[in-house]
Chain A
Amino acid sequence: MLAAALKKELLLQWRSRSQMMAVFVFGASSLLLFSFAIGPNAEMLRTFSAGFLWLGLLLSSTLTLSESFHAEMENRALEGLLLLPSDPRALYYGKAIANWLQLTVLGVALVPVMVVLYDAGTLQLLKLLLIIALGTAGLSAPGTLYAAMTAQVRAKQTLLPLLLFPLIVPALLASVKATSFVILGDPMQQSRSWIALLGAFDLIYWSLCGLLYGRVVEE
């Protein structure tokens, strides 16, 4: 069932890939704008590059997450899905994993933009990929749950970030710290503990949100 749900989500995302492209352009243009907030000081831009990357990713993620229940809301498709003889958790994890993959791809795509704009290159690409994967996992687990709620109410574009942003403070903090250690060098090996914190955050929210999802969509 999980595989079927995931397949459905990925197919949906593939068919709406033009939206993904637009979100990427949004993320890239926000990275461009952040540099105007700082000014043309190359050293400073490099120092803050990890923070800007994650802020850009966070802002873009609200766009993809708030749209992620769009198809389910049409023609009351969500009710139809819930009538299937299966666990609603499979639906949740299918969507959360699909959102996670989408955000990871988005994050990876934004890295070259960051490197070019802020001169923030690194050769530890695998470690950077790991951090992006763990960080976006932290965004997508609660993000998918809150998207399921806010998709059904008025003012969803405002409510989703309002609910999600305070929640993911630890994930954002840990991702930014770990990423900036990767970019700026990490003589004290501090990035490892931040990655561990990210892992713990993901573990807690992937299990907790899966448990609570059934209650959110019931009826």
Chain B
Amino acid sequence: MSLVDIQDVRKNFGPLEVLKGVSIEIGRGDVAAIIGRSGSGKSTLLRCINGLEEFQAGAITVDGMAVGKTDLRTLRRHVGMVFQQFNLFPHLTAGQNVMLAPTVVAKMQKGEARDTAAGLLEKVGLAGKFDAYPSQLSGGQQQRVAIARALAMQPTVLLCDEITSALDPELVNEVLRVVEQLASEGMTLILVTHEMRFARDVGTKLIFMHQGRVHEEGAPKTLFANPQTPELAQFVTGAH
């Protein structure tokens, strides 16, 4: 059975239907890249997976937990998320940002949480930045702290919502390298992204969304080389 199972999900904001019956299955260890124009519903879909948005019809299960029926806290302990705007807690240091949820939510001892946080910051290449405040870090560094913060809860699946879109071009790669490393370690990732090359090289599954539907999906390399629909063909050439 797939790890994340999305079945015929429909969602509307008032009269505007943004998801018109989306079905996707994502297996354990998959790196699923969701691409598409803005307004195609890709971010909304991602936010439905951890209950940041409600949906009107259909079903989503994550590791057997039905979204909307499972207690939100239980669900979210298994689903990590990284945001476009980082959303670090500005009043806490990088280390404290990573330590907060393990101590508060998972009731981990301070010392243990500190060691875990230090280890995670080292993993994302920020070993010396434990005591730095977010405002003292570059965008790329902040986003890597945000990744470490999400990993601290040992999620089963990590959602990444356009995590390089707010970064200066020269900072994009340092963040993508971290994601790539996670992928190579077998972490299940669902990324909404505009980084086509990354989607092709690292992704195991490509989902092209268009007007609230999955327009095409398949293996990234095949799809990029051989788009089956004019919309994807146009999108791919337009993006390069």
Q: Do A and B bind each other?
A: no
Listed in ascending order, the chain A residues whose CB lies under 8 Å from chain B are none
Listed in ascending order, the chain B residues whose CB lies under 8 Å from chain A are none
